[in-house]
Amino acid sequence: MQQTWPDILEVPDSSLSVKTDLFIRVNHLHRLAEQLETIMQLPEKNRHEWIEENQIVIDQMMEKLSQGSSLVLQALEGDKQSMELSVEYVSKLRDVLNAVESIFHSRQQL
């Protein structure tokens, strides 16, 4: 059950405005959060297998998410919509990080 998140892991087009890039990343985070919710609902054994099969992808995803956080700082000096997208990005990022932590925490309890 190898998982991929190509749009989360791809490098954004450098010609995009910060606002457009943030908008795209927020949408990716929404979809990622939904996928993680599905994974959290798997039986414990399947969840652990999923983690082992997807460790590299998870590590890459976490790296890209942290890189995307720098965009939030760039957008703080932007217009109101950019700031709203920044807040939404940080909120969704927190949800995703909590989901990943929950998935790994359940594995460590074995």
CB environment 9-24: b (16+ within 10 A), e (fewer) = eeebeeeeebbebbbb
Longest Cα separation, the chain: 48
Q: What is the pLDDT of residues 81-95, one digit of tens each?
A: 888 888 888 888 888
The answer, as to whether pTM is greater than 0.85, is no
- C-alpha 98/C-alpha 64 separation (Å) is 16
Measured in whole angstroms, how far is the alpha carbon of residue 109 from the centre of its chain? 24
108 pLDDT higher than 60: no
Higher local confidence (pLDDT), 75 or 62: 62
Higher local confidence (pLDDT), 86 or 108: 86
7 pLDDT higher than 70: no
- Res 105: pLDDT: 75
Higher local confidence (pLDDT), 96 or 11: 96
- Mean pLDDT of the 34-39 span: 88
- C-alpha 15/C-alpha 28 separation (Å) is 19
6 pLDDT higher than 50: no
